[in-house]
Amino acid sequence: GENVEQHPSTLSVQEGDSAVIKCTYSDSASNYFPWYKQELGKGPQLIIDIRSNVGEKKDQRIAVTLNKTAKHFSLHITETQPEDSAVYFCAASLAQGGSEKLVFGKGTKLTVNP
């Protein structure tokens, strides 16, 4: 089955700096890669996603890149702000028995220091 590795597990940056979180996946059939942000006491919220036919996608200060050959994808946050502090999860799709599920990495706790 699919295995998703996520690094680093914790990341501390100064406000205004960039943050990069990296994930690798094992199933070459995976074709959908979302990123979720989880704030304290809340459920994960989808912030950006990318499909396998695209190499990069950007939404304001957030961008995601995908390298299908190497089976890795990354989240880039520029000009970080204290409100970006949260746990971020990457995920990869896994087709299974006529449906599809998401397999998640273990998360990265991002702290943005003012």
Partner 1 sequence: DSGVTQTPKHLITATGQRVTLRCSPRSGDLSVYWYQQSLDQGLQFLIQYYNGEERAKGNILERFSAQQFPDLHSELNLSSLELGDSALYFCASSVDGWANYGYTFGSGTRLTVV
Closer to partner 1 by Cβ: residue 74 or 107: 107
Q: Given the rule CB under 8 A, which residues bind partner 1?
A: 31-32, 34, 36, 41-46, 49, 51, 89, 93, 96-107
Which residue in this structure is represented by tokens 């502090």? 85
The two three-digit tokens of residue 1, written as one number: 């089955």
Inter-residue contact 66 to 56 (CB < 8 Å)? yes
Which residue in this structure is represented by tokens 């990265």? 108
Inter-residue contact 93 to 99 (CB < 8 Å)? no
Closer to partner 1 by Cβ: residue 3 or 18: 3
How many C-beta atoms lie closer than 10 Å to residue 7's C-beta? 14
The distance of closest approach from Cβ of residue 72 to partner 1 in the complex, given in angstroms and rounded to an integer, is 18
Strand partners, 27: none
Strand partners, 24: 5, 72
The distance of closest approach from Cβ of residue 76 to partner 1 in the complex, given in angstroms and rounded to an integer, is 19
The distance of closest approach from Cβ of residue 114 to partner 1 in the complex, given in angstroms and rounded to an integer, is 27
Closer to partner 1 by Cβ: residue 14 or 53: 53
Closer to partner 1 by Cβ: residue 14 or 40: 40
The distance of closest approach from Cβ of residue 91 to partner 1 in the complex, given in angstroms and rounded to an integer, is 8
